[in-house]
Amino acid sequence: EDKVVQSPLSLVVHEGDTVTLNCSYEVTNFRSLLWYKQEKKAPTFLFMLTSSGIEKKSGRLSSILDKKELFSILNITATQTGDSAVYLCAGTNAGGTSYGKLTFGQGTILTVHP
């Protein structure tokens, strides 16, 4: 059974801090690792990572995948209160009838205080 584990489960920081969120995965026929940000409603897409060692960057957010260690991290620099949310990572299965299926981790609840 596919499994994705995130850590820490929750994190409280102050504005300006840098945070690193972790995601480890065991996904059969792994294809890609996705990061989402979820506030009050449905998740919004942040990154999709398919290749090991190539950093993806969007503003203050960046992410990288290590396919050897089955691991990904999401970094947020100079955090702002608007970054407060649940961050979800998910692994994509590329095999057979499970093709495209996302297995989500439990999420990391990030709280940024002013």
Partner 1 sequence: GAVVSQHPSRVICKSGTSVKIECRSLDFQATTMFWYRQFPKQSLMLMATSNEGSKATYEQGVEKDKFLINHASLTLSTLTVTSAHPEDSSFYICSATRDRGYEQYFGPGTRLTVT
Which residues bind to partner 1, rule: CB under 8 A? 31-32, 34, 36, 41-45, 48, 88, 92, 94, 97, 99-107
16-30 exposure pattern, b = at least 16 Cβ within 10 A, e = fewer: eeebebebbbebeeb
Indicate the residue type of 33.
Answer: L
In whole angstroms, the minimum distance from the beta carbon of 29 to partner 1 comes to 10
Of residues 11 and 17, the one with the C-beta less far from partner 1: 11
Determine the distance from the C-alpha atom of residue 75 to the mean position of all C-alpha atoms in its chain, rounded to a whole number.
9
In whole angstroms, the minimum distance from the beta carbon of 17 to partner 1 comes to 24
In whole angstroms, the minimum distance from the beta carbon of 57 to partner 1 comes to 17
